[in-house]
Amino acid sequence: MKCFTLTSLTLALLLLTLAANADDHPKFQAIFDGESLDGWIGHEKFWRVEDGHIIGQTTKENPTQGNTFLIWDEVEPNDFELRFRYRIDSQWANSGVQVRSENLGDYRVGGYQPDIATEGWITGIHFEERGRGILARRGEKVVLAADGSKEVTRFASEDELGKRINARDWNDYHVIARGDTIITKINGAKMHEVVDNAPQARRSGVIAFQLHQGPPMTIRFADIKFKPLPQ
């Protein structure tokens, strides 16, 4: 097994850059250099860089036993924006991006997951990996209160939002995490909003990409950018 880690100097420079920009007008910073997996931790059996993209792939001969993740865990941000592009290159795929999540070791992660999949209803939902399951469907604002209650408001049609997603082409993905709220947009359209004040809520944690166990799948990620938000 091989882990891809930042050198101490690179990490120090990255932290200084992020801190320097965490002002009233922070800027997006690239957290994938387009050439290597420096700064990311993942099993080399499943993750590689090709044509400037991160490729996550399982095959019939090389399946994953359980969900596996590529983790950017050198920083555990709290309030931030994350932008990237993705494209599914297989008949079946189930993936997603973890935010404010817990690194459980052995390339496993638990926590908030704005979802990506070939199944029409899944992309754009908000799922909690190893937790409470589906927190919000596409087109929903969900408020999870400290007393365990749940309030759901529909702000858009699930089917109409699904039409904004490219099944076999590139999609722009945008996650905004601020305070108790996480908002996800795909191709500029708001997909869901989760306001979480339940006891299980997390305010910081790792960012990671998922490969789900199951049939062979291939997914590409590119132009991964991160911006800290003032608190």
* Tokens 């759901």 -> residue: 152
For the chain, the domains span: 8-228
- The whole-model pTM stands at 0.89
Distances (CA, A) of 202 to 18, 39, 44, 110, 210: 21, 23, 29, 11, 19
Please name the fold of domain 8-228.
Jelly Rolls (2.60.120)
Residues recorded for the chain: 231
Could you list the pLDDT tens digit for every one of the 231 residues in the chain?
555 555 555 555 565 555 554 455 689 999 999 999 999 999 999 999 999 999 999 999 999 999 999 999 879 999 999 999 999 999 999 999 999 999 999 999 999 999 999 998 999 999 999 999 999 999 999 999 999 999 999 999 999 999 999 999 999 999 999 999 999 999 999 999 999 999 999 999 999 999 999 999 999 999 999 999 998
CA gap 55, 228 in Å, rounded: 25
CA gap 122, 144 in Å, rounded: 20
Q: How many CB atoms lie within 10 A of CB 145?
A: 12
Return the exposure string of 46-57: e unless at least 16 CB atoms fall within 10 Å of the residue's CB, then b: bbebeeebbbbb
CA atoms within 13 A on the CB side of 97: 29
Q: CA 111, 38, 45, 226 torsion: positive or negative? A: positive
